[in-house]
Chain A
Amino acid sequence: MSEGQQHPLSIYYSIWILLFVVSGFSYAVDYYQLQGTLRWTLILIFMFIKAGFITAIFMHMTWERMALQLAILVPPIFLMIFIGIMAIEGDYTFLTRIEFFTESDFVPVYHNSGAAH
């Protein structure tokens, strides 16, 4: 076996600091109560930066051969489809509950056509 993953310590220190800073940023998003599109855009950006650097540097994915990289990183792409399917399902369940479980004095607002029901 070769000597495995040997890298200078400095790269770990810089990633370590970077993770601290980015975590601080994502905490600040909540602390300053940013809302709406800005909030979830920032949360997702910081999340993917952190996840990417942990996988690439700490878990040494950048230095692995492409066969292993593809075997590990491609299957999670299918999760996107799963998320999409379940988002549609969640929306459907919510609308069904609005339709059948709400009090009679509650009138749901339909944006596209008021005469649909």
Chain B
Amino acid sequence: MSDTSVAQTGEPLKEGLAGVVADYSADKTAFQVPWGKAMMWIFLLSDTFIFSCFLIAYMTVRMSAQDPWPLTSEVFSLSMGGQPIPLLLIAIMTFILITSSGTMAMAVNYGYRKDKKKTFYLMLATAILGASFVGMQVFEWTKLIFDEGVRPWGNPMGAAQFGSAFFMITGFHGLHVSAGVIYLLVVAFRVKNGFYERRGNDYGIVEVAGLYWHFVDLVWVFIFAFFYLW
């Protein structure tokens, strides 16, 4: 369990496909990574399937809708100086999420360098960016519900299925971002007050939290492409 470059038998590990066979048939640890990281990856795999189910359901209702699908670049446009700019808010949200992914990657890196202070501030920045993303989503929902009259059962612009697909997909993603912000803050403050220092100075948990955060960004890439741009 302690050394990842050598198997428990003491022999050096094989690489490539032979390594896959050896790892899976090892009768001991299949994944040569810390336990938390393997489990986070498996959770993310299951989450991939949940989000895929939502996006596939959206594809199906959109294909089978008789009424025209509302034009997303018009529905999600924002007026700037009297001129509507398509998808402006969504573009800002996308860039905020990418920025937060970048700061998270930096935090993981500084975590492995045992730089407590930089890790803490970078994780805090990530959490703040994530919180501002959720805030913008609240603004977007408010605009859609109160100004444009979008409901899960119908809307004035076209196919009734638009509302339920929109609220379900972006709502579930927003829930993930909110949970991620809380998760990041807990880990960040534990980094700061020396919780991991006392536990063998191991900052692997920062990478595990980072995996979750990058996944949230990854899901947004697909939502942005399929829901907003399509």
Which residues on A are within 8 Å of B, measured CB to CB? 1-7, 9, 12-13, 15-16, 19-20, 23, 26-27, 29-31, 33, 40, 43-44, 46-47, 50-51, 54-55, 57-60, 64-68, 70-72, 75-76, 79, 82-83, 86-87, 89-91, 93-94, 97-98, 101-102
A67 touches B23 (CB 8 A): yes
Q: Which of A1, A15, A20, A59 contacts B202 (CB 8 A)?
A: A1
B94 touches A2 (CB 8 A): no
B48 touches A76 (CB 8 A): yes
A-B contact count (CB 8 A): 165
Do A5 and B207 contact each other (CB < 8 Å), given the known contacts A12-B109, A68-B41, A97-B66?
Answer: yes
Chain B's interface: helix, strand, loop or mixed, by majority?
Answer: helix
Q: How large is the interface on B (under 10, 10 to 19, 20 to 34, 35 or more residues)?
A: 35 or more
Q: Which residue of A lies closest to B98 (CB)?
A: A19
A101 touches B66 (CB 8 A): yes
Q: Which residue of B lies closest to A79 (CB)?
A: B52
Q: List, in ascending order, chain B residues with CB within 8 A of A64's CB.
A: 33
Q: List, in ascending order, chain A residues with CB within 8 A of B101's CB.
A: 16, 19, 54, 58
B211 touches A27 (CB 8 A): no
Q: How far is the CA of A94 from the CA of B69 in the complex (A)?
A: 13
Do A68 and B31 contact each other (CB < 8 Å), given the known contacts A4-B112, A12-B102, A86-B60?
Answer: yes
**B20-60 near A? 1/0 per residue, CB < 8 Å:** 10011000001111100010011011001100100011011
Q: Which residue of A lies closest to B38 (CB)?
A: A68
Shortest 9 CB-CB contacts between residues of A and residues of B: A90-B63, A93-B64, A67-B23, A16-B102, A47-B225, A90-B60, A94-B64, A12-B105, A58-B214
- A26-B225, A54-B221, A59-B218 known, 15 other contacts, Cβ within 8 Å: A2-B3, A5-B108, A16-B102, A16-B105, A33-B73, A47-B222, A65-B31, A65-B32, A68-B31, A70-B20, A71-B41, A72-B44, A76-B52, A79-B52, A91-B63
